A and B are shown apart, each in its own frame.
Chain A
Amino acid sequence: MKAAMTAFASARYVLRLYVTGLSPRSMRAISNTRWICDTYLSGRYDLEVVDIAQHPAEAKDKQIVAAPTLIKTLPQPLRRFIGDMSQTERILLGLGLDVQLP
């Protein structure tokens, strides 16, 4: 487990956030995700935001059932997070980042 955590500490993250238009929750999800990435994955992440209202086909392809949804494609395994991404500790754990929050 510790070895896996070490590997995650240097891996490049590919993330995709699925939102719906300009809703406040979507905006919060975008803002929170960016903050997490900039703070804990600075310089080694690639985040793409997709509005499923405009691209519903993408939702189907990626089996999105609710929005906002954040998908971690890389490093494997694939992980999904649903909500406004305000639960930072849960997200970090899901991303495999062993970080001690204040």
Chain B
Amino acid sequence: MEETLHAIRSGQVDALVVEGNDGPQIYTLQGLDAETNRFRGAILDQVNDAVIAVNHENCIIYLNSAAERLYGVTISKALGQTLPQIYNCRWGHEDDEAAAMTALLERGEWRGENVHIRRDGIEINAESSITVLRDVSGQSTGILSVIRDVTERKCSENKVLVSEIRYRRLFETAHDGVLLLNPATREIIDANPFMTEMLGYSHRQLVGKELFEIGLLKDEAASQEMVRKLSRTNQVRYDDLPLKGTGGQLHEVEVVANLYDEGGLPVIQCNVRDITARKRSEEQVRLLMAEVNHRAKNLLAVVLAVAQQTAKYGDLPSYVKRLSDRIDGLAAGQDLLVRNLWQGVEVSDLVKAQLAHFEDLIGTRILMHGPCVQLTAAAAQGVGMALHELATNASKYGALSNFEGQVHISWRVTAAAKPGFSMSWTESGGPRVVEPVRKGFGQVIIGRMAEASVLGTAEIRFHEEGLSWTLNAAAENVLTGRNQNESAQGDA
């Protein structure tokens, strides 16, 4: 007790505790200042921002309830501790800390952001306002920090930033042109790189222009009409618009315009797709389909003619067999043409295809000789049918009907001012040949039909030692452009 009295007398005591009727009462011994401090403390306890005051030794002399919550500490444990015992700071850049210290020294305050790392490792994005505390004489007594937890805001900002980067990248790298327009002025306010490359305008040249000024719509009235439509329907689509670049190159484009709200302001986004290549491809497909249709009709006409002519000779069972063989021959030639995309057929390939049944004899009893040249589709069809007919005939009555006969097939291109194409089929060693009394359809095929296919002449001779067939025509009627001018030296 004596010690207590001594302390009170020597001015070391702030307050006395006296037991009253309503419990213990605290009597402060410092008058107005103490009450003011208490009042301020009560207010600071109510604010949502963390408030921490430290003295010159960096010891915490005050922290409010918000600071307790933010840093996960209690006032009783934190008071008197140093700040690093509560949290550590991480700065965005290595110079930031020095800049903050300089600001405190020179201006007595610093505002900024950094990361506070609590003792339990939790990181807080802190927006701090730090002020130097001074006594009545102006002497610095410590610093007061008001800290706002902006972690959630930072997180949102980061999400917005990531989103911005992601969609900006889409905009920058899209392989469609994108134009953004102000609906009020109808002027372009932004354009992506694909759009500038497609048109040959720089970004600066595009911005401020209306669509009709870059040739996307025909005139100002069309531009106004588009905006009117957009205001009613929010979307306008143009499937096929011509668009000329600054270099004169013409693009066919598909435009989809949408009206959007961007933070309360309307904006028009035009997606411009270059469909030039697609249109070209569609046109090629259309031409190809027409060509396929034409060829199919031709082929059907040939089949019809073959069927009719075949029917004129022989009985029904032989008719079926002969027709079937002839259609097989047509099909073999057709396969070659399709394989070569209707661009022509090598003569040697045509011969091998039509003589597929005699594959084992090629090189021994069937000898081929001629340059590597390509027949047109029409010539291949006629010559193929003739070869098929000749082979069938040889196997029935001619050089391939016994074990000794041979067939020589040769072709050549004559080197002259106007090159010619000549092909021959010469049989030998077969049974003695007698010229038939009547002409069957087989002779029509190797004669008139072959002639018609090459716009040339066909000659059939029935020598006793074997049949011979020769076809002559101008090379330009028979061969593809690829090899009309080539030398006729090579052999198959």
State the Cβ distance, A50 to closest chain B Cβ, in Å.
6
- B470 at interface by CB-CB < 8 Å: no
Task: Report if B40 contacts A (CB, 8 A).
Answer: yes
Assess the B15–A67 pair: CB atoms within 8 A.
yes
**CA gap between A70 and B436 in the complex, in Å:** 141
Residue contact B61 to A27, C-beta cutoff 8 Å: yes
Q: How far is the CB of A37 from chain B (nearest CB, A)?
A: 8
A20 touching B24 in the complex, CB below 8 Å, given contacts A48-B76, A65-B16, A66-B8: no
Closest B residue to A19 using CB positions: B14
B165 proximal to A (CB < 8 A): no
Q: Once the chains are docked, how many angstroms separate the CA of A89 from the CA of B411?
A: 127
Inter-chain contact A31/B17, CB cutoff 8 Å: no
Given contacts A26-B14, A49-B79, A49-B80, is CB(A56)–CB(B37) below 8 Å? no
Residues on A with C-beta less than 8 A from B19 are 60
With contacts A31-B55, A34-B59, A65-B16 known, is A60 near B23, CB below 8 A? yes
Asked if B298 lies at the interface with its beta carbon under 8 angstroms from chain A, I say no
- The listed residue (B24, B40, B62) touching A57 by CB distance below 8 A is B24
Cβ distance B82 to chain A, nearest Cβ, rounded Å: 9
Q: What 0/1 readout, one digit per residue, does chain B (10-49) give for beta carbons within 8 Å of chain A?
A: 1011111101000111101010011001101100000000
Q: Is there an interface contact between B25 and A56, defined as CB atoms closer than 8 Å? A: yes
Contacts of A19 in B (CB 8 A): 14
A64 interface contact, C-beta 8 A: yes
A-B pair number, CB within 8 angstroms: 111
Asked if B17 and A64 sit within 8 Å, CB to CB, the answer is yes
Nearest B-chain residue to A26, judged by Cβ: B14
A window 25-57: CB within 8 A of B: 25-27, 30-31, 33-35, 47-53, 56-57
Beta-carbon nearest neighbor of B1 in chain A: A65
Report, as a range, how many residues of chain A touch the other chain: 20 to 34
A22 at the interface (CB under 8 A from B): yes
Contact call A82/B14, Cβ cutoff below 8 A: no
Residues on the B chain within 8 Å of A22, using CB? 37-38, 40-41, 61-62
In the bound complex, how far is the Cα of B17 from the Cα of A47, in angstroms?
22
B4 located at the interface, meaning its Cβ lies under 8 Å from any Cβ of chain A in the complex: yes
Chain B residues positioned under 8 Å from A14 (CB to CB):
none
CA distance A64 to B15 in the complex (A): 10
Cβ of B93: which chain A residues have Cβ within 8 Å of it?
A: none
The secondary structure that dominates the A interface is mixed
Complex CA gap A25/B13 in Å reads 8
B: interface residue count bin: 35 or more
Chain A proximity mask over B45-59: 1 for CB below 8 Å, otherwise 0: 000000000010101
Shortest A95–chain B CB gap in Å is 15
User: Known contacts A23-B37, A52-B15, A65-B16; is A60 also within 8 Å of B59 by CB?
Assistant: no
Alpha-carbon distance between A30 and B55 when the two chains are bound, in angstroms:
11
Give CA–CA (A48, B180) in the complex, Å.
64
Least CB distance from B164 to A in Å reads: 46
A34 and B55 contact, CB distance less than 8 A: no
A9 shortest CB reach to chain B, Å = 23
Interface: A59 (CB within 8 A): yes
Chain A contacts for B62, CB-based, 8 A = 22, 27
User: Which residue of chain A is the closest to B77 with respect to CB atoms?
Assistant: A48
Q: Is the CB of B80 within 8 A of A23?
A: no
Q: What's the least CB distance linking B147 to chain A, in Å?
A: 18
Q: Is B152 an interface residue (CB 8 A)?
A: no
Residue of B nearest to A60 (CB): B24
Most buried by B among A21, A35, A57, A80: A21
Residues of B within 8 A of A80 (CB): 3
Residue B7 is within 8 A (CB to CB) of chain A in the complex: yes
List the A side residues contacting B23 at CB < 8 Å: 56-57, 60
Question: In the complex, what residue of chain A is closest to B17 when comparing beta carbons?
Answer: A59
Q: Are A82 and B3 in contact (CB under 8 A)?
A: yes
The residues in A between 76 and 101 inclusive whose CB is less than 8 angstroms from any CB of B are 80, 82-84
Contact B14 A47 (CB under 8 A): no
> Min CB distance, A26 to chain B, in Å?
6
A94 to B76, CA, bound (A): 22
Encode B72-111 as 1/0 by CB contact (under 8 A) with A.
0001110111000000000000000000000000000000
- The interface residues of chain A lying within 8 Å CB-to-CB of B28 are 20, 23
Query: A66 to B13, alpha carbons, bound, how many Å?
Result: 6
Choice from A34, A60, A66, A83 contacting B15 with Cβ under 8 Å = A66
Contacts of B59 in A (CB 8 A): 30-31, 34-35
With both beta carbons as reference points, the residue of chain A lying nearest to B7 in the complex is identified as A82
When the two chains form their complex, are residues B30 and A23 in contact, meaning their CB atoms are under 8 A apart?
yes
**Contact in complex: A47, B7 (CB < 8 Å):** no
Query: What is the interface of chain B, defined by CB distance below 8 A to chain A?
Result: 3-4, 7-8, 10, 12-17, 19, 23-26, 28, 30, 33-34, 37-38, 40-41, 55, 57, 59, 61-62, 75-77, 79-81
Given contacts A34-B80, A64-B17, A68-B14, 13 further A-B contacts (CB under 8 A): A22-B62, A25-B13, A30-B59, A31-B59, A35-B57, A48-B77, A56-B17, A56-B24, A59-B24, A60-B19, A67-B16, A68-B13, A82-B3
- Give me 7 A-to-B residue pairs in the complex whose CB atoms sit less than 8 angstroms apart, sorted by A's number: A20-B14, A33-B80, A50-B76, A66-B7, A67-B17, A80-B3, A82-B12
- In the complex, the 3 A-B pairs of residues with the closest C-beta atoms, listed nearest first: A34-B80, A83-B12, A82-B7
